[in-house]
Amino acid sequence: MFYKSTRNSDVNVTSAQAIAQGISEDGGLFVPSEIPAISLDDIKALGEKSYAERALFIFSKYLTDYTEAEIRYCVEGAYNTKNFDTENIAELAHLFDGTYMLELWHGPTCAFKDMALQILPYLLTTAIKKINLDKKVVILVATSGDTGKAALEGFKDVPGTEILVFYPDNGVSAMQKKQMTTQEGENVGVCAIKGNFDDAQNGVKAIFTNKEIGEKLSENGMMFSSANSINWGRLAPQIIYYVSSYAQLVKDGEIEAGEKINIVVPTGNFGNILAGYYAKHMGVPVNKLICASNANNVLTDFLTTGIYDRNRPFHATISPSMDILISSNLERLLYHLSGGNDAQIREWFGALAASGKYEVSDDVKTMLRDEFYAGCCDDTQTKATIKEYYDKYSYTCDTHTAVAVKVYEDYVKATGDKTKTVIASTASPYKFSGSVLSALGNTADCDEFGLVEELAKVSNIPVPASLAALKDKEIRFTKVIDKTEMKDFVFNSLYVK
């Protein structure tokens, strides 16, 4: 298995090179040269295995330059009860008849990003050894809230690495900010920027693809890599939990092998739902991929019309991890749907950079409609959904999961489709306690940790130990900069002159 760049199909690198590098030098994203197939017999066999063993099987299809021993080292180091509070790693909660919550937030930072970012340091450090790199790897991260903390926790004190995280100053929840600004570790740095997530993401990409900056780093014995989902090593682990969920449903007798399911994903950067697309095209029987957006509904409009237009108001919502107007992973999907047409990708994403807008071809529009359904909801609807599901099912959703639930309800009303459905639940409600309590009609006036205590009373969900421990942690990182100062912050942090 080799990896191509979405902007230059002549690029041909191993998975180790793709993971170590993070992004292609031409600015494109690495994609597998083909999507490997798995059979229903494979899926049924996976039902009898642990999550780590399921991961080993899927990674062996994509990381063919890694030995079995290397992959086993990675999966066993990441997917265990030391890192996750459940033996199943990815829990399936039976919400109501034929509808299941895929709880992806049982890791150390209480968000779905842990599913990938607990293993990425293993994959990356193994890759560095495989390709004989003798440079320190500098991980640059732009975050809308969850990726930053998950990456910081994953790479904390990992030898041979430094990690620098940028987040929008007023674009994350109080708990997310507390998680990042109190981060421990000798190799970590955190900085807020004046702007939104897209500003942070664009700044990181600009630094990545600036040859002068890269050369300066190289002179100082360092190189960049990424922990955002632009890195294939971040995206590949997300495929596993969709394969695993289907295998588990078959094992539990909830579905028959071969029976199709729907997958609903709340997403901003399109990585989590793209992982569902890969799982489907590997052989997991998926009927429809349902893309849920908040008020920043650029993906809803795109999947409906085929026109991507980021020229619109940016909304700061109660589901901040989805407050994104430039969805990076669409580039991978469109590369596949266009038949690997790198010239077309350069044209579309060149137009996005220049004018903030592009329109895909009619055949791609047809494929998008066949694969996806898209919907969105605003904060008022999100809160109403949290209250409805708490009252009906005694289930407490976070503000992102509730977006997915609302869009799924709209999908069923619009289509009448009764296919059994897995909804990706992407974060613990405790990461957004104030908004969840407000939705439930609780107007407690207290600080973030008082809100956590209030939510514990009404939700009957144990407070995650990692969040409770934040209360007395010292804040280490307070710097706020303009987005134009990101390069200087990187150089100053790394003592590069």
Whole-number Å distance between alpha carbons of 60 and 451 = 44
Name the amino acid, one letter, at 288.
Answer: K
Whole-number Å distance between alpha carbons of 306 and 138 = 36
Whole-number Å distance between alpha carbons of 248 and 297 = 32
**By the 8 A CB rule, do 94 and 79 touch?**
no
Instruction: Enumerate residues 6+ apart whose C-beta is below 8 A from 226.
Output: 22, 23, 139, 140, 141, 204, 208, 234
Whole-number Å distance between alpha carbons of 124 and 327 = 24
**By the 8 A CB rule, do 11 and 26 touch?**
yes
Handedness of CA 192, 198, 200, 203 (dihedral sign): negative
Q: How far is CA 363 from CA 154, 270, 351, in A?
A: 41, 21, 19
Whole-number Å distance between alpha carbons of 124 and 318 = 33
Token representation of residue 157:
């004190």
Pairing relation of β-strands 480-482 and 188-194?
parallel
Whole-number Å distance between alpha carbons of 71 and 82 = 19
**By the 8 A CB rule, do 290 and 262 touch?**
yes
Residue among 135, 142, 90 nearest 116 (CA): 90
Whole-number Å distance between alpha carbons of 30 and 22 = 8
The question of whether 113 is a catalytic residue gets the answer yes
Residue among 371, 311, 361 nearest 341 (CA): 361
Token representation of residue 453:
């205590």
Catalytic residue chosen out of the listed positions 49, 61, 82, 113: 113
Whole-number Å distance between alpha carbons of 332 and 315 = 26
**Helix residue ranges, H only, 283-398:** 298-305, 330-337, 342-355, 362-371, 379-393
Q: What is the 3-state secondary structure (H, E, C) of 115-138?
A: HHHCCHHHHHHHHHHHCCCCCEEE
| Count of residues in the chain | 497
- Residues catalogued as catalytic: 113
